[in-house]
Structure 1
Amino acid sequence: MTSSQPIDLQNSTIASASQQPLWKQEGAEPFLRIENVTKKFDDFTAVDNISLDIYKNELFCLLGGSGSGKSTLLRMLAGFESPTSGRILIDGIDMAGIQPWNRPVNMMFQSYALFPHLSVADNVAFGLKREGVSRSEVKQRVAQMLDMVQLGHLGKRKPHQLSGGQRQRVALARALIKRPKLLLLDEPLGALDKKLREETQFELINIQEELGVTFVVVTHDQEEAMTLATRIGVMNHGVIVQTDEPHDVYEYPNSRFVAEFIGSVNLFEGKVIEDEPDRVRIESPEAGATLYVNHGISCAPEQIVHVAVRPEKIKISHNRPQQQDNCIQGEIEDIAYMGSLSVFRVRLPNGKEVRVTQPNFTRSMGDRFTWNDKVFLCWDEESSVVLTA
């Protein structure tokens, strides 16, 4: 892959928190445009008529389970696969027929694919040397890039002498040193342990912001996507089913699939018995209560819907609260102490299980809940989402 125009680290145009992001600005031109892209392998459709706009300086995550089509879409962006139909445009240029090495793109693989016989510095310099960049410029750019990923003191080491997180940063430096306009990352943190993965996520964000390169990250890890992304595209069976900022994907899922795939959720089936512009009331035998939501929805009279409630939105108590709606009773069946929070599995009289999480604000056990306690579960009228799909 060839290098594009040098990145000016001093003048990278990163939007501040006070500026409206490009995807919300009317008339903003996308940096990466995917138009009606389909990819078929014989009779199997891996990517099904996807259209998506990604903007300059975004850190966009494609999130989905195995077989959802996310890696196939990433490979088409890199040029390793060709669309069966549709177009991919990068910076306004149609990528049809353009080979991977001629695209303003680089890709970082999950395995990192470092050369074991080369030093850290030589691994990072490899692409520049292949392009015939002068020795003095190679040395300067390698030093700059290694300093950026905090590995300047390890340039002479071999990959086997590094930790997993350090090898990940070497691979990132090698991918970025050729100054691509677009960096593709396929499960970049999948080989790291949980603690190191969490630390590296913030390093990745800082590097992306400093360079101003557009990142597209493929991951199956919901927490990773929520931490990294400016926006998330949730994929299922070759289709992007929702594209939104992390907060909106979590708090306002557009379907049962998204609600269940992102984090943990309780779903209650019921029938709409009142539908007004500012409220919805749902009769739910599954919950054993009437559920009330303070917003309207678009549905048919008496339509069967699902009400989604996140576990942390539910309040648990020994005594019955005064509220009538959104209040159910059950018995604690299981408790998991997770340190910062406790997880309760509460069994309703009809056998349905409800998951509740509660932060552990104090070290004292105090008036805690225990197994087989009879408890009441309640939540606010704005804490649930009505799903019609």
Structure 2
Amino acid sequence: MSTSSTLAQPKSIVVPPWREEGAQPFVQIDQLSKQFGDFTAVNSVSLDIYKNELFCLLGGSGSGKSTLLRMLAGFEQPTSGRILIDGVDMANVQPWERPVNMMFQSYALFPHLSVEANVAFGLRREGIRSSEVKKRVTEMLDMVQMGHLAKRKPHMLSGGQRQRVALARSLVKRPKLLLLDEPLGALDKKLREETQFELINIQDELGVTFVVVTHDQEEAMTLATRIGVMDQGVITQIDEPHQVYEYPNSRFVAEFIGNVNLFEGTIMGDERDNVTIHCPDTNSMIRVNHGISCAPNQTVYVAIRPEKVRISREKPLQEINSTQGIITEIAYMGSQSIFKVRLTSGKEVRVTQPNFARDMGDRLTWDEVVYLSWDADSSVVLLS
């Protein structure tokens, strides 16, 4: 056998279905609205979700994300619009007849039943034979690493363990679509981070389509194949996590996802591959490496993420995309340090730097005059 034949072959590149022309969505939400009296909770939302996706609806309280999830489950009836799951209109389909299961934030475990009895409950209600129930429950508990605690009651489990039992109970009936309402909200930060990766692995192994509702930006960024950012009943942007973070389509999305510095300015020049903006906040010109096709002298906003801003005692050679200020706050976060810098205009800018070295050395400190700079491809122009 030749040496070359033993080498691993590169994996073929799989194009996500939402990028494929003509791909059929698994869940179709068409002009869906929900009103409670005079209040519109969901306003003409249209959304396609594809098979095996882990889609996150991200938004603050009152954004409409949980109402949208409840309409998918059948617990709320739309005021107008349609929901199709696997090509079937759900208009006259009762919640218990939909190919859907839902995992609630509270987990809703039966306190008097053991772990295995909780997971088996739905299967037994359907009259599935005992041998099949036992097999599926055992497989699911092993998958969520809870098989060794099958005989325990919920009050004997930690929050993370109860979350796994609730997930197993939701998946054991093999739904086509699993809806998760703030599934990790009750867990502490470290356990939540660990469980996020476990959830991704379980979803990938089972191939079930997940729709997750969360208010936690980091959770959505970690879990999702795509994110739908909701505000006041409307989805303002749908995209893959890195696209939502790097290329927000509005000030709301830029500020809601992570931290961002926003500078207001006036368009001075707009070409196909760059735009120049006069910015009083920085007392300088800002150049961004993309065009926006707008009117001269139009007011716009430049969004720059804190980790993309350089901070130094030395004045940079570049005059464009640079400014000066004084350090007013420093927060040491272990892996990184956060600096707040007040510019001469009074504008406050946030800068983050990774802490590569253990020795703090001659570090920047409070009340120092510093220079900030960034690259032309590190920012994005927003019209609203």
Q: TM > 0.5 between the two?
A: yes
Give the distance between the partners of 1:114 and 1:61, measured in 2 at CA: 24
Runs of 4+ in 1 over 6 A off after TM superposition: none
Q: Find the partner of 1:76 among 71, 74, 81.
A: 71
List per-residue Cα deviations over 1:78-124 (Å, max 9, x = no partner): 00001100000000000001110000000000000000100000000
Does residue 281 of structure 1 match 2:279? no
Paired with 1:284 and 1:349, the residues of 2 have a C-alpha distance of: 13
TM-score normalized by the length of structure 1? 0.95
Q: Which stretches in structure 2 are left out of the alignment for 5+ residues?
A: 1-10
Distance of 1:286 and 1:320 partners within structure 2:
18
CA offsets 1:188-241 (integer angstroms, 9 cap, x no match) = 000000000000000000000000000000000000000000000000000000
1:234 counterpart SS class: strand
SS at match of 1:157: coil
Q: What letter corresponds to residue 208 of structure 2 in structure 1?
A: V
CA distance in 1, matches of 2:297, 2:329: 35
Counterpart Cα distance in 2 of 1:140 and 1:366: 60
1:257 maps to 252
- 2:180 alignment counterpart: 185
Residue 134 (structure 1) aligned to one of 116, 129, 135: 129
1:294: how far off?
A: 1.3
What do residues 142-161 of structure 1 show as CA deviations (whole Å, max 9, x unaligned)? Answer: 00000010111110011111
Please tell me the residue identity of whatever aligns with 1:208.
Q
Q: Distance in 2 between matches of 1:75 and 1:252?
A: 30
- Pairing partner for 1:107 from 102, 108, 122: 102
What is aligned with 1:163?
158
Query: Which residue number corresponds to residue 6 of structure 1?
Result: none
CA RMSD across the alignment: 0.7
Find the aligned partners of 1:298 and 1:154 in 2 and give their Cα distance. Answer: 61
1:43 aligns with 2:38: yes
Q: Deviations over 1:154-192 (max 9, x none)?
A: 100111111111100000000000000000000000000
Q: Which amino acid aligns with 1:203?
A: E
TM-superposed deviation, 1:17: 7.8
Match of 1:122, SS?
Answer: helix
Aligned to 1:212: 207
Look up the SS of the partner of 2:290 in the other structure: coil
Cross-structure match for 1:147 = 142
Q: Give the equivalent residue in structure 1 for 2:224.
A: 229
- How many residues are treated as equivalent by the alignment? 374
The separation in 2 between residues aligned to 1:255 and 1:298, in whole angstroms, is 16
- Residue 352 (structure 2) pairs with residue 342 (structure 1): no
Q: What TM-score, normalized to structure 2?
A: 0.97
User: How far is the alpha carbon of 1:298 from its aligned partner?
Assistant: 2.1
Give CA-to-partner distance per residue, 1:273-325, whole Å, 9 cap, x none: 01111111000011211101111112111100000000000000001010111
Which residue in 2 is equivalent to 1:301? Answer: 296
Offset at 1:32? 0.1
Task: Structure 1 unaligned segments of length 5 or more: list them.
Answer: 1-15
Counterpart CA distance in 1 for 2:293 and 2:191 is 45
Q: CA deviation at 1:18?
A: 2.2
1:363 aligned partner, one-letter code: R
Q: Does 1:23 align with 2:12?
A: no
Quick one: distance in 2 between partners of 1:170 and 1:54? Answer: 26
One-letter amino acid of the counterpart of residue 199, structure 1 = E
